[in-house]
Structure 1
Amino acid sequence: MSQTTAAPPSAGTGSSEQGAAPAAVPGARTAPASAADRAIKRQRVLDVLDAKGADSLLLTTHTALTWYLDGSRMHISLAGDPIAALLVDRRGDHLVTFNNEAGRIAAEELPSGVDLYTVQWYGNLHEAASAVGRSAGVSAAPLAEGEVAAELRAARQQLLPAESARYGRLGAEVAEIMTDVLSTARPETSEFELVSALAARVVAAGAEPLVLLCNGSSRSEFRHPLATHSPLGRRAMAVVCARRDGMVANITRWIRFDAGTAEERDAEARIAAVEADIFDATVPGAQLDRIFAEIKAAYARHGFGAEQWEQHHQGGPAGYAGRDPRVTAAATDTVVLNQAFTWNPSGPGVKIEDTVQLTESGLQVLTADPRWPATAVNGLQRPLTLEL
């Protein structure tokens, strides 16, 4: 076959040109996709097609693919491009992958009702997926993701029941991992030792550690501290961004081996107050640019200075990307119920971060472990520094 021609599908049965999916074995993975959630997601994409007067859309990014397929893994390298592309058209959903990936995808990642096509490992996924539409007599090229980026982001905002449940389980497990690992740390523990223990637990939970950060007391001025061989010293911060079934849970925690200074405790309380103001602004119907304006005002209000927001990104909506998108003055997306967020205000030597979901009863913290010390801030339990 040529580089751009996909082999025919197997009628959406989960088999490929390499043969039928092998029999299930104990502990083997099955695609987590919910049929009910998938149907809603497909209708949301069809609505985008209707609004654009188009017949098909080509999904090519990790964020879009894992969202639309409802939790299928479409990566090999965490730093690489997806190993599949998906054409959504009026007939159905058509996934094209490389011939050397098709067997595993059919067995472990393919939701029901999705046709699977293959192209040689040296072929072009995007061209092959587009050719699937042409073979059905569709002359117009499919819409590219970039042409409907805002519309797809809006389609992802409101999390559906099954994916909300998966996200909640992931958040709770990541919080438990942080408690377990950080509780065993000592001043002489190195930053690398701490993040390697976190990574081991994240992978054992069936997730991918997308971000692992740590700074000991000698490096507390860095907002994005990649780990080093430095010992933790008297206090430390750890950050984990873990992805499972396409969804990313983000969390920051602090530990120290003394009572802390008065200045540290004051800054910790003030950064929690900044976060509380951001939470108060995160309500249905709010625009992200208006929330961003409130973030800037909150820093000044709580004594961090009017320009502190410039020293680090402030977070934003979460879910199938670490931030979807990062909030800026140019982000005008509107907040909706059941949307997830990870805000992360920070100041010199302080930072607070959890993944939350906006529900009918208010914000629910997903990355929470009742064993971690916490205090009520505006009625919501927020993490304190763990003193060891």
Structure 2
Amino acid sequence: MNSINQEISDKLKLIRNALNETGAMGIRLYRSDWFAWSTAGASNTVLLASETGVAEVLVTAEEAWILTDEIEAQRLQDEELPGRDESSNPVYKMHINPWADKAARESFVREVTNGGKILSDIPNAHESPLPMSLINQKRVIMPTELERYRQVGRLASEAITEVLLQAQPTWTECQLAGAGAEALWSRGLHPALTLVAGEKRLPLYRHATPKQEKLGRATMLVFCARGYGLYANLTRFVFFGLGQANAEIRNLASLHSQVHQIEAEALNLCIPNTPISAIYDALGQAYKQHGYPDAIRQHHQGGTTGYLSREIIANPTTSEILMENTAVAWNPSLPGAKVEDTFIILKDGGLENLTFDPKWPSIKVEGRDRPVPLEID
């Protein structure tokens, strides 16, 4: 059995463990993140803005299906569902309903589950939520997933470097966002989020959606890039003509060293069994020590990532703990400065930076390579 088949087989065991745990007869997975997880990286996405896709997964104690309609079935079979069992049969059977007859799908589900209890990632009035045991398993990255994640992180970081090396202060924010999206698409990645702030808007907004403003002398570009369902989250800055810039722009550059030190407090705590709330508290204390006691409340600080851009966003009451092989992306920020990369927490408690690009300028902070603003004369 090849690695993809083994991964799917292992995940079906986890799903069926949830059936045994809850006494349910079936599990339906509608959302794009769960679809990618359960199929070892396949995509049911057509409309990028939707959390659900054009197909779903249905698993019972004995069988597993992809439920879709006649518009999508052939493409999914040809391009998205490579898994095969030991007899070379598809791991997932296909159930195809006429696109205008959704009732046929619901009838099929009732039939194969004997009208019993169904769990779902988006439960309707007749379904129940997934158990936390399965949700937590989804957040732990398997070795085969990590190999795909490394590829996604490398491609995303190469894309952001490529684009910002070409950027000009006369470009608009929308131009830069478009170039970033093109760089991601050309590498087979979904530009799930592309934020851009130029000199004027950079000190004002943490979530700066692109506008028709000129970049000017300072620019931030943020990617949430999705490949195989996995998210690589990263932020980079460029300063144009910093040597000739005014004091305000030079001050923005100096803020990055403080953000690096604040981020280090979070990264140092990224070891298995650390409460995520403890990292939030440590970030809050770090902001205070640097003279920004309110900064913790001015933007979310990131958290765990994986098949969602943020699986868990850290806050003071977060009850979950970090686990081995969990991905994290922290994004501490001050007005005009931010740092962000995607890391995996390794077995020994170390961190692997999945979005590190050796071509991007960096400095050592607490022994880790951290990105600094690119300066272009």
Provide TM-score, normalisation by structure 2: 0.89
Match of 1:69 among 12, 35, 39: 39
1:59-98, CA deviations, whole angstroms, 9 ceiling, x for partnerless residues? 1111111111111110111123311121111112111101
- Please give the alpha-carbon distance, in whole angstroms, between the structure 2 residues aligned to 1:54 and 1:199: 42
- Please give the alpha-carbon distance, in whole angstroms, between the structure 2 residues aligned to 1:49 and 1:274: 43
- Please give the alpha-carbon distance, in whole angstroms, between the structure 2 residues aligned to 1:184 and 1:130: 51
1:141 maps to what in 2?
117
1:325 maps to what in 2?
312
- Superposed, 1:41-120 pairs within 5 Å as 41-80=11-50, 81-110=52-81, 111-112=83-84, 113-120=91-98
1:219 maps to what in 2?
201
Counterpart residue identity of residue 141, structure 1: K
Secondary structure in 1 matching 2:328: strand
1:246 maps to what in 2?
229
Greater CA deviation, 141-150 or 224-233? Answer: 141-150
Alpha-carbon spacing, 1:223–1:160, altered in 2? closer, same or farther (3 Å): same
Contact persistence 1:153–1:324 (CA under 8 A): no
- Superposed, 1:202-281 pairs within 5 Å as 202-220=184-202, 221-257=204-240, 258-259=242-243, 261=247, 263-281=251-269
- Please give the alpha-carbon distance, in whole angstroms, between the structure 2 residues aligned to 1:149 and 1:327: 21
Contact persistence 1:342–1:353 (CA under 8 A): yes
Greater CA deviation, 273-282 or 258-267? Answer: 258-267
Are 1:311 and 2:311 matched, yes or no? no
2:146 maps to what in 1?
164
Counterpart residue identity of residue 163, structure 1: E
- Please give the alpha-carbon distance, in whole angstroms, between the structure 1 residues aligned to 2:301 and 2:218: 23
Counterpart residue identity of residue 34, structure 2: A
- Please give the alpha-carbon distance, in whole angstroms, between the structure 2 residues aligned to 1:133 and 1:228: 46
Q: What percentage of residue pairs aligned between the two structures are identical?
A: 29
The CA deviation at 1:130 is 5.3
The CA deviation at 1:141 is 2.8
Greater CA deviation, 219-228 or 253-262? Answer: 253-262
Contact persistence 1:285–1:335 (CA under 8 A): yes
- Superposed, 1:190-205 pairs within 5 Å as 190-205=172-187
The CA deviation at 1:274 is 1.1
2:88 maps to what in 1?
none
The CA deviation at 1:207 is 1.2
1:345-365, CA deviations, whole angstroms, 9 ceiling, x for partnerless residues? 111111111111111351111
Contact persistence 1:284–1:334 (CA under 8 A): yes
Are 1:356 and 2:343 matched, yes or no? yes
The CA deviation at 1:53 is 2.4
Contact persistence 1:275–1:343 (CA under 8 A): yes
- Please give the alpha-carbon distance, in whole angstroms, between the structure 2 residues aligned to 1:328 and 1:119: 43
Are 1:283 and 2:262 matched, yes or no? no
Unaligned runs of 5+ in 2: 85-90, 124-128
Secondary structure in 2 matching 1:264: helix
Counterpart residue identity of residue 53, structure 2: P
- Please give the alpha-carbon distance, in whole angstroms, between the structure 2 residues aligned to 1:273 and 1:315: 16
Unaligned runs of 5+ in 1: 1-31
- Please give the alpha-carbon distance, in whole angstroms, between the structure 2 residues aligned to 1:153 and 1:130: 24
Q: What is the number of residues matched between the two proteins?
A: 354
